[in-house]
Structure formats: C-alpha cells, structure tokens
Structure 1
Amino acid sequence: MKGTLFLIPTLLGDSPIENVIPTYNIEIVRNLNIFIVEELKSARHFLKKAGYPRPFDSAEFSVLNEHTPSTEISELLNPLRNGLSVGLLSEAGLPCVADPGASLVSICHLEKIKVIPLSGPSSLFLALMASGFNGQQFVFHGYLPIEPKDKIRKIKDMETSVLKNKQTQIFIEAPYRNKKLLQFLAETCRPDTLICVASMITTTEESITTLPAFVWRKKIPEIDKKPVVFLIGI
C-alpha cells in the first residue's frame, strides 16, 4: 500500500499556532517523520511551534522550491511509493497555492497516491474575504510585470475586468517593492477604482484597508518588507 501525501498549511507570520492552525493538523504533523519543504529553516520553525516530539535529526527533510530541477521531483515521492506518509509544507500558508508543489501533487494523482489537503490560512482568500470585493468572480495574477509599460498595460487590463465583469483582481509583489507598487497602482488606476491593501494577515500587525485610488495617492503607508496582498475591485 502506498503512503499519503498531506498538504500542510503553515503560519503566515509569527502568530500563536493555536490561533491559526487546527489541532487536527498539529496531530498529523507530530506523527510524520518525512517532510518535503519549500524552505528548511521556516519548516523547522513551524514544526517547533507545533510541538514536534522528536529531534529534527531523526526526521527526513527534502527541499522543493522554484530551483528544484523538474527531473528530481519524482524522486521525492519514493517514500510514498514505499508506503510511508509525507507532509508537504510551503514557506507560508497553503502548499501549491502561489507556492511550489503542484507538479508533485500531479504525479501523485497519476500514480494513485492519496493526497489529503488540510485546512489552514491562505493570505489570498483571507484578503478576498475582508476586501469587500466580489467573491463570486476573482482571479489571482501572481506578480505583475517589472517593466513600467507592461505593468501599466496589465493594470489597465485588470481594471477593465473589474469594470466590465465585476471580477476581483488579486496580486502580490516582492515585499521590498510593496510601497512602490501601491504608488504606481494608485496613479495608474482611475480615481474611483477601489484598491485593497491586506498586510501581515493573521498577525498582531494585520492591516486590511480598502480605499479609492485617489485616496491612496495622498498617502502611501509603510508596507515595505511586509507580506502584502493587493486587490482591486468594486
């Protein structure tokens, strides 16, 4: 019998684990010995918060991130093929959602390896919930283009989707460029287009604010070096 791949959500910030992660998840984590992780340091930090009962040296960790060669991904599933269960952890939030792991899960389905997604925090969906925007139609774009001309075109296309289809647009940026992006966004959008800035979700520094573009133009908050989700909508 093959093992089970558990998709394990992790913390979005330095929050008390009991405030964010279900007890059921913690019990599963404590009983696993093999983990596929996006980043080793953050994974060990999460396991420590979860009260992992054994020394980390006794557990097996493999890294899966954007630098992992596609030819090596299948090898990560060998423990599952041999009947052992494995936990997949991203650096923050849900595995496989705006994070590595989808290709691994795809192979599991092809090989009939059971995949169990566990409940947990997603900055994208929590931001959408709190934005006041349409939750029936939405799209996540990941990162916007770097080149200003391409970025303007992308923002205008997103704004058109908002106005014509009431489709909420969700995207992110590298933390050190958050403030610059918000300024660019506020200046590019129509004055009445609503922009939501959701920062440090689930932490004590959480801030979620929805305002028209013309209001954001007047004052850009200090959001650099923080995890932020941006949304535009009506």
Structure 2
Amino acid sequence: MTRQHGTLYLVPAPLDFGCETQAPVEDVVPLGTLRVAAGLTHWICENAKTARAYLKRIEAVAPLAAPLQAQQFQELPREVHKKGDHAGQFDAKPMLAPALAGHDMGLMSEAGMPAVADPGSSVVKAAHELGLAVAPLSGPVSLLLALAASGLNGQNFAFVGYLPQDAEERTRRIRELEALALRSGQTQLFIETPYRNAVLMQALTQTLQHNTRLAVARGLTLPSASVRCQTVKAWRGQPTAEQERLPAVFAIGR
C-alpha cells in the first residue's frame, strides 16, 4: 500500500434510524468520529437519502469538507440489502475506485457499525484485497451494548442474525439456539425487523423453557431505551407489546 491511496473509514451511525425521536448526535457518537466523517466527501452507503440526513446532523456539530450537494454517494445494490454480503458473493472493488485515486472514503450503514449485523463486509473485504487501509471509528454497536447490559455470558457469545419468518422453522431454530446456549453457555444474540418484534417475542415465550434467561434491549441510546433480562417464566406473566416497534436486540442464555 502507498500513501497515494485513500483510507476506508467505517463510520458508525446512531441507532435511531426509523424512530420517531432522535437523540442529539453528539450524545451517541464520539466527537472524534463526527470530525473524521465531516472531513470525508466520498461515501458507500445503503441509502443516499439516509446518508445525507446523517451528514446533515453531523454538520450541526462539525463543518463538512464539502456541501451536501457536492458529496459523492454510491449505494450498495438492493440484492446486498436483501440477502446480505457476508458470504462474499458481491464484488465491491469497483466502488472503491475513489480510494485508489487517493480519496479517503466512508462506509456507512443506516444504523450502528457497518458490516456488523448490516451490509458492508464485501466493501471491507475488497479494501483489504486492494491493499487499502481500513479504519473503524468508535460509535454505537447495538449488539455489544445489548450484550453488556444483559448480564448473560459476555465471554462466549454468537450473533445469528435474523430468525426464520416461517412459524415452524422459527420454532425449530429457537429450540436449536436454546439447546446450544444451555449446553455450552454461549449467549445467542439475534435481531428482528421492529414491526415483527411482538411476533418474535410471542414465539420466544411460547417455545423457550421456563428457566432460560431471555434479554430484550429496545431503543438503545434513545431516551426511551430499556433493557430487561429475566427468565422466560417471568416474561410470560408480563405484556410484551410495549415499544414493540423500536429497534431491538434479543439474547438467550443461562
């Protein structure tokens, strides 16, 4: 690698994407990260409109190197959003042409750290293959925040993505993950689209054994954030619809 090449910065975004309320960006993203992001003009993102909205929030804290209308955005293909790019089937090298030409670039997802429970790993892989420097910036990562606040095993854990939407397949998967968690002590973390949170919660409380511990972290970093971890038996006696449309991370363990 030579210095004439740019660096790929992984820029975390606030976790309030799609939420009715938003926390001040400087309260949830370190100032150093905001300043680096403000200095970038070339971006790879999930959605250009969302990326511009985040940069507008950053602009209120740190001056942008170029006006919003002059920022250069490349959107990851729709199939990457739908199927993910963690399997390495998408070649992102062409998107990194500006970095090869000497421009620092930012990789941004709609919420949290890109390439962690979000698209972007193909871009990072391509950067390594092209000999570009990759620099992750500090910021909110919902999985780690939820794990730390759960009281479950933080020394041995796995993120398993989304559970199946089909009811029978979902039940089977829940039982597989529970068996693994109870046998090995490995915490199992997963997520769901916010409007399906209530359905998933019902499936979990109906399927899991009563002594299994279930953690639910909703609306992390928002004023309305809540994290609760208790046995499934305790969950069964409580309503589950509260804040059902907030982004949530679920975890099971012992």
TM-score range with shorter-chain normalisation?
Answer: over 0.9
Q: What is the TM-score with the length of structure 2 in the denominator?
A: 0.88
Q: Say whether 1:224 aligns with 2:244.
A: yes
Any conservation in 1 of the 2:90–2:122 contact (CA below 8 Å)?
no
CA offsets per residue over residues 111-143 of structure 1, 9 Å max, x none? 111110111101110000000000010011111
What amino acid is the match of 2:55? L
Deviations 1:13-42 (A, max 9, x none): 121111111111111111111111112222
Match of 2:209 in 1: 190
Match of residue 59, structure 1, among 59, 62, 71: 71
Find the residue that maps to 2:165 and give its secondary structure: coil
Provide the rounded CA distance (Å) in 2 between the counterparts of 1:39 and 1:47: 12
Given that 1:65 and 1:100 are in contact with CA atoms closer than 8 Å, whether structure 2 keeps it comes out as no
Residues 129 and 65 of structure 1, relative CA distance in 2, 3 Å threshold? farther
Scaled by the length of structure 1, the TM-score of the pair is 0.95
Distance 1:71 1:188, change over 3 A: closer
Paired position in structure 2 for 1:123? 142
Matches within 5 A, 1:80-95: 80-95=99-114
The C-alpha deviation readout for 1:33-91, integer Å capped at 9, x for no partner, is 11111122221121111115342111111111542596663221110111111011100
Q: Secondary structure at the match of 1:142?
A: strand
2:91–2:126 CA contact under 8 A, matched in 1: no
Partner SS state of residue 67, structure 1 = helix
How far, CA to CA, are the matches of 1:75 and 1:146 in structure 2? Answer: 34
Q: Runs of at least 4 residues of structure 1 off by over 3 A?
A: 68-72
- From 180, 184, 188, give the equivalent of 2:199: 180
Q: Which SS does the other structure have where 1:15 is aligned?
A: coil
Aligned residues: 234
Q: SS in structure 2 opposite 1:196? A: strand
- The equivalent residue for 2:9 is 6
Which residue does 1:21 correspond to in 2? 29
In structure 2, what is the Cα distance between the partners aligned to 1:186 and 1:28? 44
Question: Which deviates further from its counterpart, 170-179 or 208-217?
Answer: 208-217
Shift of 1:109: 0.7
Cα distance in 2 between the residues matched to 1:75 and 1:124: 30
Cα distance in 1, alignment partners of residues 97 and 122 from structure 2: 15
1:141-169, Cα deviation, whole Å (9 max, x unpaired): 11111222221111111111111111101
- In structure 2, distance between residues paired with 1:121 and 1:60: 24
Percentage identity across paired residues of the two chains: 40
Gaps (5+ residues) in structure 1? none
Q: How does 1:17-56 map to 2 (within 5 A)?
A: 17-51=25-59, 52-53=63-64, 54-56=66-68
Residue 156 (structure 2) aligns with: 137
Report the Cα distance in structure 1 between the residues aligned to 2:138 and 2:183, rounded to whole angstroms: 33
Unaligned runs of 5+ in 2: 17-21
Contact 1:179 1:223 survives alignment (8 Å) = no
The 1:35/1:96 distance shift into structure 2, 3 A limit, reads same
